[in-house]
Amino acid sequence: MASFDVNAARAQRMEALGRSWSFELDGDTFQLPTELSRSVAKSLRGLDDNDVDGLLKLLMGEEQFGRFETHDITMQDIAAILEAYGKETGLGLGEG
């Protein structure tokens, strides 16, 4: 039986999705990772289910989140971003 090559599978995913997914808000572009590291996943588990800022800060990093915070954005906007992100990457974030 052939062994599963994790590196080849990862390379195939990266080729299909790229390393990041981006969205634009008021002319400013933000990038989120298409895959989450184990350390980020572990940090996500520690967040309260309603900690939207904590979720976005983990995904974006400090610099991007700082820029993101300057925009006047609604919770519905954030929900739409997370829904589109999930559809494109297969990552289900912000789901009950």
The ranges assigned to domains in the chain are: 19-89
- State the pLDDT confidence band at 96, using cuts at 50, 70 and 90: very low
Query: Which residues, listed in sequence order, are joined to residue 24 by a DSSP beta bridge?
Result: 29
Each residue's pLDDT tens digit, 54-79: 999 999 999 999 999 999 999 999 99
8-54 pLDDT, tens per residue?
Answer: 988 988 888 788 999 999 999 999 999 888 999 899 999 998 999 99
pTM of the model: 0.81
Q: Is the dihedral of CA 49, 55, 58, 62 positive or negative?
A: negative
Residue 27 has which token pair? 């002319």
Quote the CA–CA distance of 69 and 64 in Å, as a whole number: 9
Cα separation, 94 vs 65, in Å, equals 17
